Structure 1
Amino acid sequence: MARRTASATRESIRSAASTLFRQQGYAGTSVREIAALAEVDPALVIRHFGAKQVLFLETMHVTLDDEPLFDVPIESLGRRFIEVLLDSDEDVRGAYLALVRGSAESEIAQRLTTVHNETFVAPLRNRLSGPDADLRARLAAALVGGLLYALWVVGDEQLLATDHADIADRYGRLLQDILTPRD
């Protein structure tokens, strides 16, 4: 078998860790399991990344394609934001769950805060105006977080079985009321 380069070994470890952390969470994944999936010695995982937590923080990122959020009028943003979330791929869901489940670790909790601020609050804040725009963005992000909690953490079977268009209509209206309140 041909020897891998250091960068190929590092990438193999990252890929294995990303897969396992998304499937099993931080606590449920061992360095040995990562090494086995990457087909490397466990010592190489530590050599390349120093610690499991460092590897976790390097591989668990939640990003949304926020381009669709910029293409709709502000009056349609609530529904569109929910559609984008409901259509997000398994990688987004897996990374979000891994971050939530690992949030007892302070650095992972900080990453979750960063994800909340950069993935949910900032895109919403960028679309809003007015003196309370930041508060409305934070309230909207909290509302979105509640939906993700119900769908992805709790696994509410009734919500999961509900048509995405119905959820987008109903939850989108709630979100829209925060984004563009009636005076």
Structure 2
Amino acid sequence: MTAYDLKMVRRTGEATREEIRTAATRLFRERGFARTSVRDIAALASSNPALVIRHFGTKELLFLETMHLTIDDEPLLNVPPEQLGERFIERLLADDDIRGVYLALVRGSNEAQIKSRLQDIHEKTFVGPLRSRLVGPDADIRARLAAAVIGGLLYALWVVGDEVLVAADPRELVVRYGALLQQILTPSA
């Protein structure tokens, strides 16, 4: 029996599953869906590719299980409405997990289930928290426009890598982009 075989014997099914999940999360965030193989995940998890499939079904299902993007609503809900724009941008840029998950989802969005997850995240992470704070008959469209503006910032920073924005002082981005977002959230009458 090799050292690899001994390691495999000693791990429980749940431990193996968790190691696979951890490896997949890391690789999907670093490389994206298409550039991550089941073999790569298994190798990083010191596992067998067949176990990856046995535990998760497919690479796409494993991706969907590991790639979640959430923003803690609490810091968004405890500020006055006129500070919501800045607070939302501040929370978004302060959370390193958001970047990795967002990029992995965008890169994999040509797959139907991943596109659906991206749409769900857009609705629940961006539109929903904003809409919950808005009033008036146009609250839904303002929340959706605000989410689109947020998506534009993420795209410029993380997909395109706009050098000027990437090098900008994060506080300046929060203030300026927060003001832009605020104009959509609370337009003047």
TM-score range, shorter chain: over 0.9
Correspondence for 1:98: 104
Distance in structure 1 (CA, Å) of the matches to 2:134 and 2:49: 48
Correspondence for 2:43: 36
Correspondence for 2:115: 109
Correspondence for 1:4: 11
- Which of 170, 175, 178 is 2:176 aligned to? 170
- Which of 139, 159, 180 is 2:186 aligned to? 180
Distance in structure 1 (CA, Å) of the matches to 2:70 and 2:80: 22
1:154 Cα deviation (Å)? 0.7
- Which of 70, 75, 82 is 1:75 aligned to? 82
Correspondence for 2:3: none
SS at 1:141's partner residue? helix
C-alpha offsets along residues 111-146 of structure 1, whole Å, 9 cap, x if unaligned?
Answer: 000010011000001100111101100000000000
- Which of 46, 53, 57 is 2:53 aligned to? 46
Question: Runs ≥4 in structure 1, deviation > 4 angstroms?
Answer: none
Trace 1:154-169 onto structure 2 (pairs within 5 A): 154-169=160-175
Q: CA RMSD in A?
A: 0.8
SS at 1:67's partner residue? helix
The structure whose Rg is larger is 2
TM-score normalised per structure 2: 0.94
Correspondence for 1:56: 63
1:66 Cα deviation (Å)? 2.1
TM-score normalised per structure 1: 0.97
Contact 2:92–2:98 at 8 Å: present in 1 too?
no
- One-letter identity of the residue aligned with 1:78: G
Q: Unpaired segments of 5 or more residues in structure 2?
A: 1-5
1:64 Cα deviation (Å)? 1.2
Distance in structure 2 (CA, Å) of the matches to 1:147 and 1:66: 20
1:92 Cα deviation (Å)? 1.5
In percent, how many aligned pairs have the same letter? Answer: 67
- One-letter identity of the residue aligned with 1:62: L
Q: Unpaired segments of 5 or more residues in structure 1?
A: none
- One-letter identity of the residue aligned with 1:164: P
- One-letter identity of the residue aligned with 1:9: T
- Corresponding residue pairs, total: 182
Correspondence for 2:143: 137
1:164 Cα deviation (Å)? 1.1
Distance in structure 2 (CA, Å) of the matches to 1:117 and 1:71: 21
- Which of 108, 132, 153 is 1:126 aligned to? 132
1:55 Cα deviation (Å)? 0.2
Correspondence for 2:158: 152
Contact 2:29–2:103 at 8 Å: present in 1 too?
yes
- One-letter identity of the residue aligned with 1:5: T
- One-letter identity of the residue aligned with 1:120: F
